Structure formats: C-alpha cells, structure tokens
Amino acid sequence: MDGTVVRVTLSLIGPSIMLVFGLAFAGAWSIDRQRPYLLLLALTCLLFTLGAVSQILYWPRDTGLNAMVSGTLYTAAVLLAAQAILLRSGRALPWPWYPVLLAGFMALMAYFFYVDRNLLARVYIQNFGYGLILLAAALRLRTATGKRHVDRILFWVLLAFALHFFPRTLMTMGFSAPIGERPFANSVFWQTLQLSLAVLGAGLALAIFAAACSDLLEDVRRERNTDPLTGTLNRRGFDDAVAAKLKKLGGPASLVLCDVDHFKRINDLHGHDAGDAVLRMLGRLLLDSAGSDDAVGRFGGEEFVVFLPATGLQEAMACAERLRATVAGHPFPHLQDGQMVTASFGVAELRPGEPWESLFKRADTGLYAAKNAGRNRTVAADPPAGAMAAQAT
C-alpha cells in the first residue's frame, strides 16, 4: 500500500473518534434537551472533524484558503469546547467574547500567510492560542469544581490537555518550520500532533461524556428522591440523606417535625388547588431557611420534617420558632379573605447511641403535644429528662 495512503488513513483515526463522540453528545442532547452544553459539544466534535479532514485531505487545494478554512474550524471548535465545559459548570463567559476571539485568530492567520508568510508563526499562534484558551477555561472551572469525583477528573484532564500544547509544540517544531506541504505532512510536529489529539482529545471527550452521563444520572436520582409538589425530599430521599449524614455525624443533631394546622379545613373551604399551593409555599419556606447541610423532606400529606446536623436542642428550637413565625406571617394569596396559615412543630435532639426511629418518635410526640396545646406553637422533647417544653405563641 502506498505510504501516503497509509499516512492519510492513520491521520483520519483521530477525527473519526471525535465524530463518534459528537454523535454520542448529540444523542445525549436528544434525551435531555435541558442541557445545551451537550449540543455545543456535538458541534465542537463536528467542527474539529471537518477541520481535520480539510487539512488531512488538503481541501480546498489552495494553500492559503486551506489554512484559513481549517484554522477557522479548529479555532471555532476550541472556543465552543471551552464554552460548553464552562456552561456545564455555570461559569460560561458572555457569548460576544467568542466571535471577537475567532476574528482575532483569523486576522493573525491571514496576516502571517498573505502579508508576512510565516508558517512557524501560524503554528505557534494556533497551538499556544488554543492552549491558553483551554488553560483559562480550566482555571475558571477550578473555582466551580464540585465535590464529585467526575468534576475533579474533568478539571485535571482539561488542564493536562491545555498544557500539552506548549511543550509538544516547542519540542517538535522548535524554531524552524518545514518548507512545503509534503515535508510538513511528514514532520515530527505533524505526526505528534495527530497522535496527541487522538489520544488526549479522546481522553478529554471521554471525561466530558462521563461528566454528562453523571449529570443525567444525578437528575434521575434527584427526581426519584424529590417530592414533585413541594420540591423537598420525599420519604425515600429523606431517609437516604439522613442515613448518609448520620454516618458522618460527629456532634449533636436535632429533628424538627412540622404539620400544617387545620389543613383539611383549607382543602374543604378553598379546594385542593389552594391546599397544594399552601404546601408548595411551605416547602419553599422550609428550603429557603435550611442550611446547606440540612435535609428537608415531606412525609406525605401536610407533614414536613427537617434534620439539622451539628445542631443542639436549643438552637433547633430557635430555628423551629423562626419557621413557625415565618409561616404565620406569610401571605397565602390562594386563600380567600387573606386567611392565615399556621403550623405546629415538634423538636427532639438526638441522644448518644439513639436509633433514628426513637428520635423520630420523640419529635412526633412533641408535634402532637403542640397540636393538643392549641396549635401554632413549638414543643421540644427534653433529652435529659424526657420531659416536654412548650412554647406558646
């Protein structure tokens, strides 16, 4: 087989791999269209493939036009890749930056071909420029990296991919460029470029795809564990969250139970739509007041539960009282004549070695005591003596 055919065939392996990833990203986007970064990644892979095919197959045949076409496609692919990765993490840059950067790259490329023909300058502009763009994206991503392993892996893979442009270009190109298309195609720089893009580019694409799959699975898990009406955790999600927090618990913890007062009357007088609106509002109030480590759930009907790690009884009582006052003072426009909604709260602090079921039962006993005492109040179970402390409105 002719050596040129072998070289071209091997060079097309990298673009073919990127095209497969592009199809995978497009497929993922078709499943979840709420994630536009997946579509951007599919377009990134397509642009990179077209740029590589244009350069490898040497089309268009005009050298200057080929350099401009492939350079435009490559640069657009790098810019879109950076924006897609940042968009996923919520750190995307304003879109007007990107056409400006693309125009700047292409202006330099045109200058060093048509005005001051310098292949070496074009090589360094593209490779160092792409490395700087991806490095800036990696550093910006660093400040938004979450606690999940997949986010950390994506950061380090992106950082490695960005940094590799600099030593690879210096070591394979140096300070003199091959003269002519065939010597350039057979140069160490070109062969190393194809290999590094095939390996590291595929690695980056794989890391991004793994992160996207992780996002989809996280959404499925969140929907499975979330109450669709209130946005709080459902019974299953709350139990899972508390079980995970109890394993890491190193101090006090408290449980708060909340029940809407006379909720059946609200449904009877105003209809179930109004009752649902009350539950949604109450769920929102609880979520807004909860800390980042707290767990808020709905246990069916009008009963809500809040688990407060690293919180003693006194602090939990104060938290429950603030919630009670907030609910009592909050307007509920779905109710006629400005009717007030109130809630009763039961609080209990976790005793050393106490099982979860016992903690829940004590908090539930406090809740029933609050209702029996006239509702719209907070009652705490006293851990040392097992007594009840009531706070009236």
Residue 180 DSSP class: S
Q: Where are the domains of the chain?
A: 3-225, 235-391
- Give one DSSP letter per residue of 59-74, joined into a string: -SSSHHHHHHHHHHHH
Evaluate whether the domain defined by 3-225 bears CATH number 3.30.70: no
Q: What is the pLDDT of residue 34?
A: 86
Q: Where are the alpha helices (DSSP H) in 89-201?
A: 97-110, 119-142, 149-173, 181-185, 188-196
* pLDDT at residue number 392: 43
- What's the pLDDT score for residue 149? 87
Cα separation, 94 vs 216, whole angstroms: 25
Each residue of 285-326: pLDDT tens digit? 999 988 889 999 998 889 999 999 989 999 999 999 999 999
pLDDT the model gives residue 229: 94
pLDDT at res. 198: 80
Give the architecture-level CATH label for domain 235-391.
2-Layer Sandwich (3.30)
Residue-wise DSSP of 311-369? --HHHHHHHHHHHHHHHHHS--TTSGGG----EEEEEEEPPTT--HHHHHHHHHHHHHH
Tell me the C-alpha to C-alpha distance, in Å, between residue 158 and each of 50, 123, 135, 149: 22, 21, 8, 14
pLDDT in tens, 91-114: 999 999 999 999 999 999 999 999
Contact 345, 320 (CB under 8 A): yes
Question: Tokens 């949604």 — which residue?
Answer: 280
Q: Are 137 and 91 in contact (CB under 8 A)?
A: no
The confidence score (pLDDT) of residue 2 equals: 59
Q: Which residues of the chain have pLDDT under 50?
A: 1, 383-393
Cα–Cα nearest to 376, from 251, 222, 262 = 262
Model pLDDT, residue 338 = 67
Question: Residue 158 corresponds to which amino acid?
Answer: L
Query: Would you state the pLDDT for residue 279?
Result: 94
